[in-house]
Every structure is written in structure tokens, then in C-alpha cells.
């Protein structure tokens, strides 16, 4: 645009100069130039005056114009390119300046924010909450990673084990969140080791209790030994404080192909050693509660082996380990009427579409007996000469334990559970074999005796009021089922002549109500009764024999000293209890619960000669419990 006008000016110079002439000379000069130009001759000033000259000059002008035009176009393109490069350079400089300024501003702001957060408590609290949210997000990310891994391989945790809180007799809400404890506060913390997921659990507990009558017991009330009215212990109360019910557990989960693998270990501190006491150090040793290994197939078949809760114990859901329906109280012996043992067993269960479950178990046997007369030379009892040296603890603590009975076969347990969509219902059966032996002497021959026992029971858990109210009911009846009850009745008595074990006819029942008032408070109440029929015999010498004999004399049980030695067989024991658990805290750090419980227990003896004594007791518990996350 600058060069072209210059070219145009040079080309039209002639006419331009023409217009610069004075007005008077304009016409004459123009005429002379025009005439000479037409003739082809040069002007007086050197311009062309002939046609040849004009043509030559025109060609030169056109050539000059063309050359100057292409040169000018190259200049334009170069100018545009340089301008664009300059714009790009300037934009880059501006962007770098913005980034630099932004970085500086953010740095200064971060320093100021950090300083303000240290000075401002409210801001510090917000930062703490932000950190907690980040931690929860990390937990969720770990959970997502676990679920994604489970899509590639079979799941390593069943839906019933996604909690942890795996404590003893936990509060109802805590029981529900176990499947979920991990339940507590966003799920239990887990560790991963060589393809296994390790989930620690349990709780720490501190309990204070007061008994209206002394039992010289710890946190577990001895229901069958409640002091008789009028005895010395009935005139003395008992105050205890204990932490021995604290529990620690470890759940191990993995997979082998499409088979789920689980292992579980659980312990508390209710074990005793010869030197254990409350005098100074209170050095109580750990006690084994559960140790088992489990394989679960995709078809619903589950095989479990180890020490675990009996299959006779009612479940909350299906027939699954760690899903036992236990009373919510604080007593270490649970409640009268509760059916349970924890023994070594082999269990096989089958799940049919999460509606029907069938289970069968071979459980470790043990026989307990009570007899007013014991024939001589009886072997096979847990107190007989062949077992009284503590065979289960030899060679380290001989004579510390009374040993084990020598049973013929394991206890056989079968159960079917049904969940139609509302509630949980189950029926169960028990088969037992009892064996003892009369040892041979120089004058008598030996004899081995085998008798049978059985039991039939039921269990139910029914939710109401949108699951805020839970109603439970269970029972068991049969011959020789005493060891499976919380009251501690014997299984058998002894025939005074043959020494044969005779199973005792027994029955028990327990019902409970649990009300979940919001997310913090659980209220509960339980009632239970256990009964044992009498099976009386007459000894070879004409005295009382068997169990519950009417020949037992209470005639001398009239004063405190005599009542201390008064003995009789228990007829029935019943209990009523109420209590609550209040959740003080539930979050990422676990759960903290506080609870109180009041228990009333009454004990009746079988009638005999004279006035039949009885006994009762009131126990008050106060407990603080911290569930591990």
C-alpha cells in the first residue's frame, strides 16, 4: 500500500507535472507535448515525440510496473509473517507473566492461609474436618479397589462379614453394624498381605458390678450356685471391677479360584492360672474363644472346621459364623435360657437362594453329671480316676483341672433356617451318646455302658416397627442337653447299681425385646427359664441316689452355718433382666458405648425332707466399651 502509490506517481508524472503548470501556460504546453508525442519525436525536455519511442517507453513502463508489483507482494507477505510472529511472542510472554503472577499469588495466599489456620481455631477445625474427609475418601478408594479386585476374582468377604465389630454380646446396633463393622465408622480397617485381607477387631471393656449376694465370681454369674437364702453368702454382697471381658479378634480372608477362604481368631482374658488373682497385679491370661477355618463355594456350600459357636445357637441371619443371635447384656454367662457352647466342630452348611439354609455339624462332646450316689470304680466321667489328673493339661499343670469325660462319639447337630422375607426362623436337633465304664475288680467283672440323649429346639427373630423393635424367642427340650444351657445344669445322673449314665429330661426357653431408639440408644429386656426333671433312684444302702431324690434331707438346713453346707439338686432357674446401651461416639475411630444392666435370678431346688430352701440374687452392671474401628 505504500509502494504502489509511489509507482503510480512515477508513471503519471507527466500528467502530474501538467497540472502543476500555471493556468496560462496549461493549454499551449499541453498542445505542444501532445503534438510531438503523436509524431514520435522527443520534446524539447527529452520526452518521446515519435510512435516508436512511445511504444518503447510503454513496454519499459509495463515491465517496471510488473517487477515492482511482485517485489511489493513479497514485502507484504514478509511483513504479515513478521507481524504474526510478534503477536505469538507477545502472547507467550503474557501467558508466562500470568502463570508467574498466579503462582506467586497462590504461594503467598497459601502461606497466609497456613498462618491464619494456626492462629484461627475455627479455621483449624475446618482443616481437621477436611483432613477427616480426605481420610474417609481414602478408605472408600481402598474399598472400591477391593471391590474391583473382587470382580476379577471371587469376593473375599461375604455380605455378612463386611463389619467387625466382632465382640461378645455387643449392643444391638453394634451387632447390626458388625456385618457392615467392619463395620464401625465406615468399615473396619483392613490390611493386605500376600493376597489375604486381615481385619482386626474386638473391643476394650471396663465393667463394675455389684451383687446383692456374694458368689465370689467375676463378670460371669454362676446361675446354678446362687446362694441359698439364710446362708453366709446370702448375707454378704459382692463388689467387683474387671476388664477381663475385653476381646481381640482377627478375620483373615482370601480366595482360591472361585472358592472363598476365611479364618478367624478370637480371644478374651477370662482364662485363669494357678497364681491369677486380684490382690496386686491382676495378671489374667488370654483365653481361646474361637479359632476356625472356612471354605465357601459359589454354589452356597460352606465347610467350617475349628472352635466356634455351636450350631444349636440361634443365628441372626442364615447359618453363618459370626452371625449368632446373642443377648445384649453384660453378664459373661449371658442369660438363663440361652442355648450355646463354643467347641471344636466340623460344620457343613448349604445356602438355597438366601431363603433356606441347612446345616449339619459334628461337635466336640463332653458329659457333665450330678448324682447323690456314685458307684465305686466308675470310669469315663470328668471327675473319675482316669481323668481327675488333668489329662487336658498334662504334663504342665497336673491336678489343676478335673479332666475330660471319655466320650464315644461327637455330638450330632442339625439345623434348618428359613427367611421368607420377614424375620428369621429355625428348627434344630441334637443327638448325643454317653459312655462310662465300671472297672473290673478281683470279684466283679467290668462293664461299659452307652446311653443316648437328644434335643429338639427352635429359634426366631422377628422385626417390628420398621425394624426398630426386635423380638426374639428360642427354646430347646430333650434328654441330656444340660451343657448347652447358660444355667449350667448337668447332662446325666448315674444309676446307683450299674453305674450307667442316665440322661436327665430338660427344657429351656428365652425371649427378648430390643428397641432401637434412634441411632444412639438401644433398650433391651430378656427373660428365661431352665428346668431339669428329677430322676431319682435308691442306692444299694437305701439312701438317696440319682438326681432330685425326695430322700434328700433339708431338716438340718435351719441356721446360717448349716445352710452353708446344705446341698440339693436344682429344679429350675429363671431370670429377668433389663438394660440399655448408649452410643457416646461413632466415627472413624470406632465406637464408644456406655451401658447399665439389672439382673434378677431365682433358683429353686427339688423338694426333699424338710423345708426346701431357695435362693435369689440381684446383679447390677455398669460398663464402658470401646469397639475398635
58-97: per-residue pLDDT in tens?
Answer: 666 566 665 655 555 566 666 666 666 666 566 666 666 6
Residue 401 has pLDDT above 80, yes or no: no
Asked if 361 and 437 sit in the same domain, the reply is yes
Task: Pick the range with the lowest mean pLDDT from 148-152, 295-299, 369-373, 467-471.
Answer: 148-152
Q: Which of 565 and 184 is assigned the larger pLDDT?
A: 565
More confident residue, 236 or 22: 236
Q: How many separate domains does the chain show? A: 3
Query: Which of 579, 577, 581 is closest to 625 using CA atoms?
Result: 581
Domain co-membership, 170 together with 130: no
Q: Are both 197 and 62 inside the same structural domain? A: no
Q: Is the residue at 281 inside a domain?
A: yes
Q: Based on the domain organization, do 462 and 321 belong to the same domain? A: yes
Tell the residue number behind the cell numbers 473396619, with chain if given.
188
3-state helix/strand/coil string of 83-144: HHHHHHHHHHHHHHHHHHHHHHHHHHHHHHHHHHHHHCHHHHHHHHHHHHHHHHHHHHHHHH
Is there a single domain that holds both residue 72 and residue 220? no
In a domain, 113, yes or no: no
275 shares a domain with 142: no
More confident residue, 61 or 383: 383
In this structure, the answer to whether residues 133 and 194 fall within a common structural domain is no
> Do both 318 and 434 map to the same domain?
yes
Write the burial class of residue 266 (CB in 10 Å: 0-12 exposed, 13-18 middle, 19+ buried).
buried
* In a shared domain, residues 89 and 46: yes
- Same structural domain for residues 519 and 590? yes
How sure is the predictor about 409, in pLDDT bands with cuts at 50, 70 and 90? very high
pLDDT at 154 over 50: no
Q: What pLDDT does residue 91 have?
A: 62
Place of cell 463394675: 208
Residue 104 lies in a domain: no
Q: Considering the domain boundaries, does residue 105 fall inside one?
A: no
Average pLDDT rounded to a whole number, residues 519-538: 97
Same structural domain, 82 and 134: no
Q: Which of 208, 188, 207, 210 lies closest to 199 in space, CA to CA?
A: 188
Residue 204 lies in a domain: yes
State the CATH number of the domain containing residue 254: 2.40.160.10
Return the C-alpha cell found at 218: 467375676
Domain that includes residue 147, residue range = 120-152
pLDDT at residue 106 tops 90: no
- Residue 397 and residue 249 share a domain: yes
Q: Is residue 257 part of a domain?
A: yes
Of 152, 172, 195, which residue is a domain's last? 152
Selected residue with higher pLDDT from 189 and 565? 565
Residue 106: how many other CB atoms lie within 10 Å: 11
- Name the band, by pLDDT with cuts 50, 70 and 90, for residue 122: low
Task: Write down the pLDDT at residue 381.
Answer: 86
Residue 249 lies in a domain: yes
Q: Tens digits of per-residue pLDDT, 284-315?
A: 899 999 999 999 999 999 999 999 999 999 99
Closest among 376, 347, 374, 378 to 363, alpha carbons compared: 347
Q: What is the pTM of this model?
A: 0.71
111 in a structural domain: no
SS3 call for 66: helix
Amino acid at each position: 500500500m505504500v509502494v504502489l502509490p509511489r509507482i503510480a506517481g512515477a508513471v503519471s508524472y507527466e500528467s502530474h507535472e501538467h497540472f502543476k503548470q500555471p493556468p496560462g501556460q496549461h493549454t499551449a504546453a499541453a498542445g505542444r507535448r501532445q503534438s510531438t508525442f503523436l509524431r514520435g519525436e522527443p520534446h524539447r525536455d527529452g520526452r518521446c515525440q515519435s510512435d516508436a519511442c512511445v511504444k518503447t517507453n510503454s513496454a519499459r513502463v509495463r515491465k517496471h510496473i510488473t517487477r515492482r508489483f511482485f517485489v511489493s507482494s513479497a514485502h507484504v507477505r514478509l511483513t504479515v509473517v513478521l507481524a504474526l510472529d510478534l503477536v505469538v511472542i507477545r502472547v507467550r510472554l503474557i501467558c508466562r507473566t500470568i502463570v508467574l503472577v498466579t503462582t506467586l499469588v497462590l504461594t503467598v495466599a497459601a502461606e497466609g492461609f497456613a498462618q491464619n489456620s494456626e492462629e484461627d481455631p475455627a479455621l483449624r477445625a475446618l482443616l481437621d474436618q477436611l483432613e477427616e474427609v480426605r481420610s474417609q475418601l481414602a478408605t472408600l478408594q481402598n474399598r472400591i479397589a477391593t471391590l474391583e479386585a473382587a470382580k476379577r476374582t471371587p469376593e473375599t468377604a461375604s455380605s455378612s462379614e463386611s463389619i467387625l465389630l466382632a465382640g461378645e454380646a455387643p449392643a444391638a446396633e453394634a451387632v447390626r453394624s458388625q456385618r457392615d463393622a467392619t463395620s464401625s465408622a465406615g468399615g473396619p480397617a483392613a490390611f493386605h498381605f500376600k493376597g489375604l485381607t486381615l481385619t482386626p477387631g474386638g473391643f476394650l471393656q471396663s465393667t463394675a458390678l455389684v451383687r446383692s449376694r456374694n458368689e465370689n465370681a467375676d463378670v460371669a454369674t454362676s446361675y446354678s450356685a446362687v446362694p441359698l437364702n439364710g446362708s453366709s453368702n446370702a448375707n454378704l454382697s459382692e463388689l467387683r471391677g474387671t476388664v477381663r471381658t475385653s476381646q481381640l479378634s482377627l478375620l483373615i480372608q482370601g480366595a482360591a479360584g472361585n472358592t472363598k477362604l476365611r479364618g478367624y481368631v478370637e480371644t478374651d482374658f477370662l482364662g485363669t492360672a494357678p497364681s491369677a488373682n486380684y490382690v496386686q497385679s491382676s495378671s489374667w491370661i488370654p483365653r481361646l474363644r474361637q479359632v476356625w477355618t472356612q471354605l465357601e463355594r459359589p454354589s452356597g456350600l460352606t465347610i467350617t472346621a475349628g472352635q466356634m459357636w455351636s450350631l444349636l445357637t440361634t443365628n441372626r441371619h442364615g447359618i453363618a459364623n459370626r452371625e449368632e443371635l446373642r443377648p445384649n447384656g453384660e453378664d459373661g454367662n449371658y442369660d438363663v435360657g440361652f442355648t450355646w457352647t463354643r467347641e471344636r466342630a466340623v460344620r457343613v452348611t448349604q445356602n438355597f437362594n438366601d431363603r433356606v439354609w441347612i446345616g449339619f455339624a459334628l461337635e466336640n462332646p463332653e458329659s457333665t453329671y450330678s448324682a447323690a450316689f456314685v458307684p465305686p470304680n466308675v470310669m469315663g466321667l470328668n471327675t473319675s480316676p482316669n481323668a481327675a489328673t488333668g489329662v487336658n493339661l498334662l504334663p504342665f499343670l497336673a491336678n489343676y483341672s478335673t479332666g475330660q469325660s471319655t466320650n464315644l462319639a461327637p455330638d450330632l447337630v442339625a439345623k434348618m433356617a428359613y427367611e421368607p422375607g420377614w424375620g428369621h426362623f429355625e428348627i434344630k436337633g441334637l443327638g448325643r451318646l454317653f459312655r462310662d465304664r465300671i472297672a473290673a475288680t478281683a470279684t466283679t467283672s467290668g462293664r461299659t455302658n452307652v446311653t443316648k440323649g437328644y434335643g429338639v429346639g427352635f429359634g426366631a427373630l422377628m422385626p417390628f416397627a420398621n425394624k426398630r423393635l426386635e423380638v426374639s424367642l428360642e427354646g430347646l427340650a430333650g434328654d441330656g442337653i444340660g451343657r448347652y444351657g447358660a444355667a449350667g445344669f448337668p447332662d446325666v445322673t448315674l444309676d446307683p447299681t450299674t453305674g450307667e449314665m442316665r440322661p436327665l429330661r430338660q427344657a429351656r426357653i428365652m425371649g427378648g425385646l430390643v428397641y432401637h431408639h434412634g441411632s444412639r440408644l438401644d433398650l433391651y429386656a430378656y427373660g428365661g427359664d431352665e428346668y431339669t426333671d428329677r430322676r431319682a433312684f435308691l442306692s444299694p444302702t437305701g439312701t438317696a441316689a440319682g438326681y432330685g431324690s425326695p430322700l434328700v434331707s433339708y431338716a438340718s438346713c435351719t441356721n446360717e452355718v448349716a445352710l452353708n453346707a446344705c446341698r440339693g439338686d436344682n429344679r429350675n432357674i429363671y431370670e429377668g433382666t433389663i438394660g440399655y446401651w448408649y452410643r457416646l461416639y461413632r466415627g472413624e475411630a470406632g465406637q464408644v458405648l456406655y451401658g447399665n444392666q439389672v439382673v434378677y435370678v431365682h433358683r429353686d431346688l427339688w423338694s426333699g425332707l424338710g423345708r426346701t430352701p431357695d435362693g435369689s440374687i440381684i446383679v447390677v452392671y455398669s460398663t464402658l466399651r470401646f469397639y475398635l474401628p
